Structures are given as structure tokens and as C-alpha cells.
A and B are shown apart, each in its own frame.
Chain A
Amino acid sequence: MYRVMIIDDERALRSLLKKTIDWEELSLEVVGEAASGIEAINIIDEIRPDIVFVDIRMPFMDGIEFSKLAIQRYPKLKIIVLTAFDDFTYARECIGIGVADYLLKPIVRTDIQQSLKKILAQLEQEKGQDKNEDTEDGKDLRMKSIKEYIEGHFDDPELNLKSVADNFGFNSSYFSRKFKEEIGRSFIDYLTSYRMEKACRYASRGELMYITAKLVGIPDPNYFGKCFKKYYDVSYSDFMKGERSAKKTTVSD
């Protein structure tokens, strides 16, 4: 079973794609989705997809930027661009980056199926070539410097498990496992909670959500909002309101 991730800013499209393709028949599984390139970069290490569907026109980080970064970090990743823009410049750019296929909206099932079959054949072929890559490094993580690195780069939207692992010369799955062993939390949990704590400070300073989002390295305010709510169990705006009234009460006290 190969793993599929869908990145599109429209929930309807993501749902449609999940629903309309018979994934099992192709021995595929949709394991995750993201509403923006930013969100995708953050969660891609957890989802570990083999195939990614990505839209081009998305805010904060468009499909092309994402593809560039993703292919650079995950060279084996198969990216299918799915866009409503029948635009030659886009298509050329995508092919130049090394995108696996370029499909047009509105979606046509047979086109997607054909494309997937072709990509599956490629994946099968590549599978045999690099089997021994999954070997463990056996090195210990110098957690202090890794934490420092994360604290120094948390506002970089492109920061993720893979980029940190690469930076310190680790295999990403080894790094992931080791990180969890050491800290007791997954890398993404750690990074997000660090960012949310920072965000909390900005919120209490009265920063608008989209600005805070940018400042903490999640420039997609929608994803940021989602993370914030998940972390604090309260929306950013409500949190700010609470902060303000709390301040007022402290002032009046």
C-alpha cells in the first residue's frame, strides 16, 4: 500500500478526490490532507506520503514552491499537480522541478487513475533499487544543540523534521524515532507547542492572528488557527479576548 496525501485549499476538492477515486482498487491509501503548502510542510513527516496531489494556486506557499521544497527534501516523492490553470508556463515550471504529472481541473477520474497507475509502476521499479537506505545511524542525538537549532529557526516556515534531520546529518525516520525517545513527544508536537507558546505571548501583546502566525513560522493563519485551538482548546480571537479582559481585571484590581 502506497500512501497518498492531498494538498488543496478547498475542502470540497479534497473530499471529492477522496470519494471519487477507488483507492483500494489501486492499492493506495489516502493518509492525510492539508489546506496549504505551509500545513503540508509541517505534517508531511508524520504522514510520510509516497504520492502527493497538490494545487498550484494556494495562499502563503503555492504549489510550485511547495513542490520545489518537497522534491528537494524527499527526492523519491511523486508529486501530481492538480490545477484549474491550463497554463503553459506553469506546466513547464512544474516539469522543470521534477513533478510526476500535471493534471487539470475539473477532475476526470480516468485521467487520475491512469496517472496513478503510471506512477505506481515507477514506485514499484524504484522500490527494488534502494532497500538498504533505511539503515540506522546509531549516533546519539545531541539534544541540546537540536533544541537550540529549533529555537533559532522556529519562525522559518520551511522548518520541519526532515530539514532538521538533514541539518544534523540524520536519517529522518531514525531522527524521528530517537527524538520521540529523548523528548517523549513527536518532533511536530514539540515544534508546534514551542510555536504556540510563542504565539501565546504575541496574543497577549494583542497581535492580530495573521501577524502572529507569520511571526511564529506558520504564515497560514488558517492552519495556525487550527494548531492554536488544538493546543489551547480555545480560538485565537477568544484567547485574545480573554487575555484582554484578564488584563482589564488585573488593571482594575
Chain B
Amino acid sequence: MKKMAKIKTWFISKKLKQKIRYLFAFIIVAYFLIFALIYEFVIKDSLQENISKSNYNTLISIGNGLTGEFQNIGTMGRLIMSSQEVIDYLKSDQGADSVSAYNAVTSIYYTATSFDNISSIYVFKDNGEYIKISNGITTVYKGVMEDPDWYGPVEKKSGANLVMVDGNGAFSQASGESVLSFVRVFNDIQTQKPIGKLVINCSLNMLRDTWREMAGDGKKFAYFHKKDQLLCGDAEFEEMELNVADSGDNPRNMRSGAGSFTYYYAIPGTPLAVAEHEQIRYTEYISTQILVIAMLIVLVTAASFFTISWFINRFITRPVESLVGSMEEVKSGWLKRVSMKLPDDEIGRLKNSYNDMLVEINSLIEELLEKEKTMQKAELEALQEQIKPHFLYNTLDTIAYLALENPREEVYDSIETLGNFYRKFLSKGSREISLRDEVEIVRDYLKLQKLRYEDIFEDEYDIQESLLDMKIPKLILQPLVENSLYHGIRPKGEKCLIRISAYEKDDEILIKVYDTGIGMAQSRIDAFMKGDSKSYGLRKTIERIRCYYGREDVYEIRSQEGYYCEVTIKIPSGGEAETYVQSHDHR
């Protein structure tokens, strides 16, 4: 199970292309395995059966041939027994070298010439005399024939042939080869009384002739006498231990394996059995038709695999790969749309959705960039436009005058204020600042302005204690105060009040700059809200606050022309800026 899981993870981890390849390889292997199994268990069996059947038929036809030969021998016997000359010889008392003997031999000889494979023919009188014809030299051991064990079974046959090998030891050929002896009692044709014995010895070629036409092609034959005595055939049959205890009338498969088959057939009506050994290569037995079909199937399958593989590669893998390639460019920076041509299928639609998504993302990014740009521009402008070196230069001149004119204490105080103001004002370049520090900036700023413009205003502060450590975007208060001073108080020409207050109300933090300057006419307020106004610094500040908090409603202006003006900055409680701005800060 663990292994299976391992294989599964391995397979899943592969690329689509590889997956398909592995899958195809697996299918092809499975295909061949099934083919092999079919061959092994179905085709081979039926092949074996076929081979066996054909071999049985061969053996039966060989058996039939032999039975035919045996009948021929029987016929020959009857011909000899019906020969008057032979009967005369048997009935006469004359010896083997008599005329009647000579006549009998001649008659036998004539009969014999029309049969093949006759080695020798003997006709015995009961007294042991005999006549013979012989092809080659044959020795007779008459002593053997006098044994009742020998002649008993012959007489029992009462006229039928008893087949023996070498006449059970009564005959031997000079050539050393065994002969097949057909021994029978010689009955007088008229009286049907035994008058002698007839022995026809056949050469083993008679047996060989029966398989001559079948042999070859890896087929070998052999004859056994009394089931297990090898008569003729190849030596390899000698080594065979044939289990022939049960010998039916049908041929039997004795042994098969490793492409070799051995069949055995006890030929009915004879003491002989024929055996066949065949060495087979199965391939030879698979018909070309089957082979062609099999090859075709393999080819068609392979072709299908290639087609499917090509199709998958062409319409799925490659488009997906190039799509992935295109998509990976996104990592390297700009979100480029995929412009390659894809068919209008699922993958094409995937591309389209991806592109749509990119367009969406791009516009979002652009929006963010635009926002960020506006923000940065506003900040930069705030720095460049609002507190501006000229403030420093002017203040330096003021302090220079103080140094020439006034007690040293005052000069020191001014320089300290100026230093403090600029340190907080620059605040290490960070974007956020605590309300405490921002108020401090304003305080110092107004202190320095008082030095410059003398006694034209009073400043008051009313800041809710708990808000002092709240972070706010830097320099949102100072521009408002500057605006009050230059556009509200100085044009009035009278002593005015600036009051800065901050407090929390209804989930909002309100930071107010109130002055008793000339105020603004409603028409000017409206113009400012619409965006066309000369209050450049104020508007930029509002823009910055909007960007920072990501909301539109961040300020309010209330005024009575000639009497007062109050600008209120409204920021969400908790002061949560938009996340992107904050994350930006941590760079």
C-alpha cells in the first residue's frame, strides 16, 4: 500500500506530457502481457490439442498401415498353405533335398516374390525337417522350437499367426538385425489338420516403411514389441521410460514439455506399439493469418497511441505549456497578456479568462500606482511647496536681527525652536507622525512666525490626551495653520486667535484649525470643494489625507466671512490607513 502511494505521488508529480508517456508505456506493456497470457493459456493449449490430434491420426494411420502389412503376411501365409507343392512336401516323407522339397521351395519362392521385406520363410515338418527360402543368412535353432513353451502358444492360435521377435530366439540373422517372425500352424487345406508349421520372417524395414512417409519435420518414430521392447527407431527412445501399464486402443500422449511431445499407440491386433516423438516450435504452428492479424492489431494500437499522443500534445500539452510559459512571464514583472493563437476550446477559453483576469489585475495595479503616484506627488509638493527653505531663510534673518538687538536668551530660544521645528518637520523622512509631534511642529512654527510678524495672533491648543500618540500622516496640520495665518489672519490686520483642537466623536477623530481671520465666503468654499481655488497647499493636503485613508469624506469647512474660519479634518477612529499604504511604509 505504501509503495502504491509512493507510485501515486511520483506519478502525480510528473508533467502532463510525461504522465501521458508513462501511461502509454504502461498500456503497451499491459497489452503485450495480455497477449502473452492469451497465447500461453489459450492459443498454446489449442495448438497442443491440434498437434496431438494430428499426431494421433498419424499414429492411427501408421497402425492401420501395419495392420495392412500384417494382413498381407496373413495372405501370403494362406497362399503358401494353399500351395499343392508345399502340402505335398509336408505330406511326403522325403527330405529337404528331395524333388518335392525343391518344388515346394520354388512355389514358396514364387509366392514370396510378390511381397516386400520378406527376410526368410520356413516351412517345418512336425518331425523337425524344414524347407526355407532366405534373403541373407539366417540361422535356425531347432532346439528352441522343441520347447513346449515355444510351440504351445503357436498351437493354441490354431492357424492364426503368432508374431514374435526373432521367433523368440529361434532365428537369428547374420546381419544381426532382428526379424519379425510370423509363426502359425500349417493346416492341411483339405483336412484342416496340422501338418507342420509356417514361419515368415520379415525384415524390420516393413515397420520402417509404415512411417517412412510421415517422418521428418522433427518427427521421429519407433516400434516397441510387447509395449516396452524397442524394436526399431531412434536411440533416444531407449532412454524413455514409457509408462504403458494402461494401454488402451487409442493413442496416448506420453509426455510433453519444452516443445517436445511423445505419443504412444498400441496397435490393436498386434503385439506392437508405435511411438512418436515430435519437436515443435510453436511459432511454426501459428498460422500466418493469425500472425498478420496480431501484427495488424499491434500496429493499429501503436498508431492509435501515436495519434492520441500527438493529439494530446498538439491540442492540450503544448498550448498549456506555452500558456504556462506566458503566465510565468508575469513573475518577472509586467503582466503581459497572452497573445498566442489558441483554438476556441477549453484551453482557448482558459486563455481568455486569464487575459480578462490580467486586464483586471493590470487596471487594479494601475489604479494603485496612480493612487500611490498622486500620494507621493502630493507629499513631495507638501515638502517643496509648504515648508520650503524660504521659511528657514526668513527666520534666519529674523533671528539674526534678534542677535543684534536683543538679550541672548531670546536668540538662544529662537534657534532652539527653529532646530526643533526642522527636526520634527523632516522626521527622518517617515510618512507618519504622532499627533503630539505634529502639534509640536505647529507650535514651533507659530512661535517662529510670531517672531517674524510680531503680535498678530494668539495660539491655543486643545488636544484630547488619549489622541496624542495616534499616528497621522505627516504635515496635515501645519499647512492648515499656515493657510489660516496667510489667508485668514494677516489680511485682517487685527490681532486674531488660532485654536487647534482634536477630539474623538462618533467613531471619528476630528482635528480642527479655527481662526478668527477674514474667513471665507460661501462661494469661495464651494469653489474650493469643486477644486478650482488658489488654496493650493490646502487642497494638496486634503488630497493627501484622502489618499492615505482611502476615503473621500475627510474634511469640512465652516466659516463666516470676516469673522472666522474652521477647517475640520475627519479621520476614521483607530486611524487605519489603507493596507497598501502601510505595507509600503515598512520597506
User: Chain A interface (Cβ within 8 Å of chain B)?
Assistant: 9-13, 15-16, 19-20, 57, 59-60, 83-86, 104-107, 208-211, 213, 220-222, 224-225, 236-237
Q: Does B405 contact A (CB under 8 A)?
A: yes
Instruction: List 28 interface pairs A-B (beta carbons < 8 Å), by A numbering.
Output: A9-B453, A10-B452, A11-B454, A12-B398, A13-B394, A13-B397, A15-B405, A16-B397, A16-B398, A19-B405, A20-B404, A57-B390, A59-B490, A85-B390, A86-B389, A105-B396, A105-B397, A106-B394, A106-B396, A208-B492, A208-B562, A209-B493, A210-B492, A210-B562, A211-B562, A213-B493, A221-B492, A225-B494
On whether the beta carbons of A84 and B491 are closer than 8 Å, the reply is no
A237 to B494, CA, bound (A): 9
On whether the beta carbons of A19 and B493 are closer than 8 Å, the reply is no
Q: Which of B400, B454, B486, B518 contacts A16 (CB 8 A)?
A: B400
Q: How far is the CB of A241 from chain B (nearest CB, A)?
A: 13
Known A12-B401, A84-B391; further 5 A-B contacts with Cβ < 8 A:
A84-B393, A105-B394, A209-B494, A210-B562, A211-B562
The interface residues of chain A lying within 8 Å CB-to-CB of B451 are 12
Q: Does B327 contact A (CB under 8 A)?
A: no
Q: Nearest 9 CB-CB pairs, A to B?
A: A221-B493, A84-B390, A16-B401, A84-B393, A12-B401, A106-B396, A12-B398, A105-B393, A208-B562
B563 nearest in chain A by CB position:
A208
A220 to B494, CA, bound (A): 11
On whether the beta carbons of B394 and A10 are closer than 8 Å, the reply is yes
Q: Does B402 contact A (CB under 8 A)?
A: yes
The interface residues of chain B lying within 8 Å CB-to-CB of A19 are 401, 404-405
On whether the beta carbons of A10 and B397 are closer than 8 Å, the reply is yes
On whether the beta carbons of A107 and B397 are closer than 8 Å, the reply is yes
Task: List residues of B (438-455) whose CB comes within 8 Å of A's CBs.
Answer: 451-454
Q: Which interface residue of B396, B400, B451, B452 has the most chain A CB atoms within 10 A?
A: B400
On whether the beta carbons of B453 and A210 are closer than 8 Å, the reply is no
Q: How far is the CB of A107 from chain B (nearest CB, A)?
A: 6
On whether the beta carbons of A224 and B401 are closer than 8 Å, the reply is no
A221 to B494, CA, bound (A): 8
On whether the beta carbons of A12 and B452 are closer than 8 Å, the reply is yes
Given A13-B398, A59-B491, A221-B493: A210 and B390 interface contact (C-beta under 8 Å):
no
A86 nearest in chain B by CB position:
B389
A11 to B389, CA, bound (A): 20
Q: Which interface residue of A13, A16, A83 has the most chain B CB atoms within 10 A?
A: A16
A55 nearest in chain B by CB position:
B394
Q: Which interface residue of B393, B394, B518 has the most chain A CB atoms within 10 A?
A: B394
The interface residues of chain B lying within 8 Å CB-to-CB of A20 are 400, 404
Given A19-B405, A20-B404: A224 and B397 interface contact (C-beta under 8 Å):
no
A59 to B490, CA, bound (A): 8
Task: List residues of B (549-576) whose CB comes within 8 Å of A's CBs.
Answer: 562
On whether the beta carbons of B393 and A104 are closer than 8 Å, the reply is yes
A211 to B397, CA, bound (A): 32
Q: How far is the CB of A89 from chain B (nearest CB, A)?
A: 14
On whether the beta carbons of B401 and A13 are closer than 8 Å, the reply is yes
Q: Which of A10, A209, A236 contacts B398 (CB 8 A)?
A: A10
On whether the beta carbons of B405 and A221 are closer than 8 Å, the reply is no
The interface residues of chain B lying within 8 Å CB-to-CB of A225 are 493-494
The interface residues of chain A lying within 8 Å CB-to-CB of B396 are 105-106
The interface residues of chain A lying within 8 Å CB-to-CB of B397 are 10, 12-13, 16, 105-107
Q: How far is the CB of B518 from chain A (nearest CB, A)?
A: 6
B390 nearest in chain A by CB position:
A84
On whether the beta carbons of A210 and B452 are closer than 8 Å, the reply is no
Q: How far is the CB of B452 from chain A (nearest CB, A)?
A: 5
The interface residues of chain B lying within 8 Å CB-to-CB of A11 are 454
The interface residues of chain A lying within 8 Å CB-to-CB of B562 are 208, 210-211
Q: How far is the CB of B383 from chain A (nearest CB, A)?
A: 16
A210 to B400, CA, bound (A): 32
Q: Which of A12, A57, A107, A224 contacts B493 (CB 8 A)?
A: A224
Q: How far is the CB of B205 from chain A (nearest CB, A)?
A: 137
Task: List residues of B (191-250) whose CB comes within 8 Å of A's CBs.
Answer: none
Q: Which interface residue of A210, A211, A213, A224 has the most chain B CB atoms within 10 A?
A: A210
A83 to B490, CA, bound (A): 19
Q: How far is the CB of B458 from chain A (nearest CB, A)?
A: 15
The interface residues of chain B lying within 8 Å CB-to-CB of A107 are 397, 400
On whether the beta carbons of A12 and B402 are closer than 8 Å, the reply is yes
A82 nearest in chain B by CB position:
B397
Task: List residues of B (485-523) whose CB comes within 8 Å of A's CBs.
Answer: 486, 490-494, 518
A106 to B393, CA, bound (A): 5
A10 nearest in chain B by CB position:
B452
B396 nearest in chain A by CB position:
A106
Q: How far is the CB of A217 from chain B (nearest CB, A)?
A: 15
On whether the beta carbons of B389 and A84 are closer than 8 Å, the reply is yes
Q: Which interface residue of A10, A13, A60, A85 has the most chain B CB atoms within 10 A?
A: A10
A9 to B454, CA, bound (A): 11
The interface residues of chain A lying within 8 Å CB-to-CB of B452 are 10, 12
A85 to B454, CA, bound (A): 22
B519 nearest in chain A by CB position:
A208
Q: How far is the CB of A34 from chain B (nearest CB, A)?
A: 15
Bitwise, B58-69 to A at CB < 8 A (1) or not (0) is 000000000000
Q: Which of B394, B453, B454 contacts A84 (CB 8 A)?
A: B394
A106 to B452, CA, bound (A): 13
The interface residues of chain A lying within 8 Å CB-to-CB of B405 are 15, 19
Q: How far is the CB of A39 from chain B (nearest CB, A)?
A: 12
Bitwise, B397-425 to A at CB < 8 A (1) or not (0) is 11011101100000000000000000000
On whether the beta carbons of A59 and B486 are closer than 8 Å, the reply is yes
The interface residues of chain B lying within 8 Å CB-to-CB of A104 are 393
A100 to B402, CA, bound (A): 29
B456 nearest in chain A by CB position:
A222
A53 to B311, CA, bound (A): 89
B495 nearest in chain A by CB position:
A237
A15 to B451, CA, bound (A): 13
A58 nearest in chain B by CB position:
B490
A231 to B400, CA, bound (A): 34
A106 to B394, CA, bound (A): 6
Q: How far is the CB of B373 from chain A (nearest CB, A)?
A: 25
B487 nearest in chain A by CB position:
A59
Q: How far is the CB of B77 from chain A (nearest CB, A)?
A: 151
On whether the beta carbons of A15 and B401 are closer than 8 Å, the reply is yes
Bitwise, B359-391 to A at CB < 8 A (1) or not (0) is 000000000000000000000000000000111
Q: How far is the CB of A88 from chain B (nearest CB, A)?
A: 14
On whether the beta carbons of B491 and A221 are closer than 8 Å, the reply is yes
The interface residues of chain A lying within 8 Å CB-to-CB of B391 are 84
The interface residues of chain A lying within 8 Å CB-to-CB of B518 are 208, 210
A52 to B27, CA, bound (A): 103
A211 to B453, CA, bound (A): 21
The interface residues of chain B lying within 8 Å CB-to-CB of A84 are 389-391, 393-394
Q: Which interface residue of B391, B397, B494, B562 has the most chain A CB atoms within 10 A?
A: B397
A114 to B389, CA, bound (A): 24
A236 to B493, CA, bound (A): 10
Q: How far is the CB of B328 from chain A (nearest CB, A)?
A: 49
B402 nearest in chain A by CB position:
A12
Q: How far is the CB of A235 from chain B (nearest CB, A)?
A: 9
The interface residues of chain B lying within 8 Å CB-to-CB of A85 are 390
A104 to B492, CA, bound (A): 28
On whether the beta carbons of A105 and B492 are closer than 8 Å, the reply is no
